Structure 1
Amino acid sequence: MKMLFWNTYRNENINSYVLDLVNKYEVDILLLAEYRSDIEKLDLLLKNSNQALVRCNTIGCNRIEIWSNYSDMSSGLQTDYYSLQVVKHELIICGVHLFSNLRGDKSYERLEKAKEIKNDIAELGEVENTKKAVIIGDFNGMPYEEAFLYANGLFGLPVLNQYDKNTKKVNGTEYTKYYNPMWNFFGDFNYPPGTYYSDQSSLNSPMWYIFDQVIMSKEVIPFFKQNKIEIITNGLKDKKGYPNKKISDHFPIVLELEEDIIHG
């Protein structure tokens, strides 16, 4: 199972790039944020692609569009900032596009939304009798931000052994651990060191940001192919190696899970 997420930067001519990525990476589930192109045309292109993707129901979530080649994929809660989907009643997928800091610090708002997401996933998991969950999208914050690392947020740890205890107790409250493999992209040993680049006139500016992330529950880890997660840059970067803003200011991310994560 291959999942691809991309913030398409409101590019009205993005469809050909999306189709190329879907065919090249054999994408089974496609998630897009800030999509502003011709969606009916993209629907037709994806339906007739090698992957035969069909748009999922995201009514109520205007920030995320989702396509899938799984016929048994049902919609869960849809909110302004995230869309919940369930594949064959076994795998919960949450596509997100959270608040940015464009108009001021929104870290506290992201923390509150992270709590909502985790609670809603837990509730849906109770209904579907599954703990397998993947949260993927534009988090508009770094992996070490409170919303995504702290136990009362998504608790997306940089290291989580599948045999570790599933929860951690803090001041009498149990918090469920999640795993965030995007921590592995920090630094310059491998290119690129992020999904978004911005050289701000600020004393606190890492310039490269890992805004686009995937966080998974411990139950997904045994099915996660560590060598098959990638920040895609081919054909999407400018001459300096940054995201080509004529296409998008974000690089897409793609990951692969073993197909037997779901049955039937």
Structure 2
Amino acid sequence: MVSAEGFHAVMDKQIALKQSRTVQGMDRKYFYNPMWSRLGDDSIGSPGTYFHKSPTMIDPFWHTLDQVLLRPSLLASFKSDALVVIDQIADKSLVERGKPASQFSDHLPLMIKLDMSLLLGGH
């Protein structure tokens, strides 16, 4: 996800707005990954998209396997509160006992809204 040979996704809009950087003589374009801001229980919605409890010494419990990546050219149309980890649909909770309800999925869905009128000059 973060490798310059992969998606080259960064957590900082200001870095992403630089468009790219040169790595080993090659121009590598950035993606912006707003999912970094959705880690933990102070985020909007659930603290991740996938829950896995492990008996290992290190266990974050909640993971964010599901990602949203944006090219810097789309950042003007993106508002942080328009990215949501969905944990409820109408009156149905998708979370049960602190983790995704297995009768629906083992992952929580993501929703993102982009205001494309900002890119099109308000038309």
Contact 1:162–1:221 (CA under 8 A) maintained in structure 2: no
Identical aligned pairs, as a percentage? Answer: 28
CA 200–211 in structure 1, closer or farther in 2 if over 3 Å, else same: same
Task: Give me the TM-score of the superposition, normalised by structure 1.
Answer: 0.41
Pair 1:221-2:57 in alignment: no
CA 233–168 in structure 1, closer or farther in 2 if over 3 Å, else same: same
**Residue of structure 2 in register with 1:256 after alignment:** 113
**Residue of structure 2 in register with 1:237 after alignment:** 95
**Residue of structure 1 in register with 2:103 after alignment:** 246
**Residue of structure 2 in register with 1:149 after alignment:** 2
Paired residues for 1:176-195 under 5 Å: 176-190=29-43, 191-195=45-49
Please report how far the alpha carbon of residue 175 of structure 1 lies from its aligned counterpart in structure 2 after TM superposition: 0.5
Please report how far the alpha carbon of residue 188 of structure 1 lies from its aligned counterpart in structure 2 after TM superposition: 2.4
SS of match in other structure, 1:255:
strand
Per-residue displacement from partner, 1:112-167 (whole Å, max 9, x unpaired)? xxxxxxxxxxxxxxxxxxxxxxxxxxxxxxxxxxxx11211101100122883211
Per-residue displacement from partner, 1:61-81 (whole Å, max 9, x unpaired)? xxxxxxxxxxxxxxxxxxxxx
Aligned pairs, how many? 116
Contact 1:198–1:208 (CA under 8 A) maintained in structure 2: yes
RMSD between aligned alpha carbons? 2.1
- 5+ residue gaps in structure 1? 1-147
Q: Distance in 2 between matches of 1:217 and 1:256?
A: 15
Structure ranking higher on relative contact order (CA contacts 8 Å, 6+ apart): 2
SS of match in other structure, 1:247:
coil
Please report how far the alpha carbon of residue 202 of structure 1 lies from its aligned counterpart in structure 2 after TM superposition: 2.2
Q: Distance in 2 between matches of 1:208 and 1:168?
A: 32
CA 247–226 in structure 1, closer or farther in 2 if over 3 Å, else same: same
Q: Distance in 2 between matches of 1:192 and 1:251?
A: 8
Give the letter for the 1:188 counterpart: D
CA 262–241 in structure 1, closer or farther in 2 if over 3 Å, else same: farther
Structure richer in helix, relative to its length: 1
Pairing partner for 2:62 from 177, 198, 208: 208
Task: Give me the TM-score of the superposition, normalised by structure 2.
Answer: 0.83
Contact 1:180–1:215 (CA under 8 A) maintained in structure 2: yes
